């Protein structure tokens, strides 16, 4: 008999397995592009990823996968992030302009 916690754990693990490759693809796009060719939202995201990467760098080879897993663990909180930032009195995170942003056009070419 499967309990409700096992079902929730399965849903959560499926979300992590689905989100992790998408995070890797996105980070690959924004970190390989020239920051000048990115929009402000992607530049901020790139800066955040690079700063977090330096934090996990001390863990050696396990640091990169751990960084992706930590980011993917909170996939269910992403829809609530704007409301949480508003409640905390912080400005909203900039989003990708999608028009002239090189990271967005690279995504579109691959799709």
Q: Is residue 110 predicted with pLDDT exceeding 50?
A: no
Query: Per this entry, what is the length of the chain?
Result: 111
34-60 pLDDT per residue, tens: 888 888 888 888 998 899 888 888 888
Residue 53's nearest CA partner among 68, 38, 34 is 68
Which band of pLDDT confidence, cut at 50, 70 and 90, is reported for residue 90? Answer: confident
The enclosing H or E element of 110 equals helix 102-110
- The larger pLDDT score, comparing residue 71 to residue 103, is at 71
- What's the CA gap between 105 and 109, in Å, rounded? 6
> What domain range includes position 90?
4-70+78-110
Domain total of the chain: 1
DSSP letter assigned to residue 38: S
pTM over 0.75: no
Contact status, residue 27 vs residue 86, Cβ threshold 8 Å: no
């Amino acid at each position: 008999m499967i309990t409700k916690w096992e079902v929730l754990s399965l849903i959560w693990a499926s979300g992590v397995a689905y989100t992790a490759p998408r995070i890797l693809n996105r980070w690959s796009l924004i970190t390989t592009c020239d920051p000048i060719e990115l929009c402000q939202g992607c530049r901020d995201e790139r800066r955040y990823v690079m700063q977090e990467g330096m934090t996990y760098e001390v863990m050696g080879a396990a640091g990169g996968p751990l960084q992706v897993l930590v980011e993917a663990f909170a996939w269910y909180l992403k829809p609530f992030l704007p409301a949480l930032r508003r409640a905390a009195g912080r400005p909203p995170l900039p989003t990708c302009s999608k028009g002239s942003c090189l990271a967005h056009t690279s995504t579109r070419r691959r799709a």
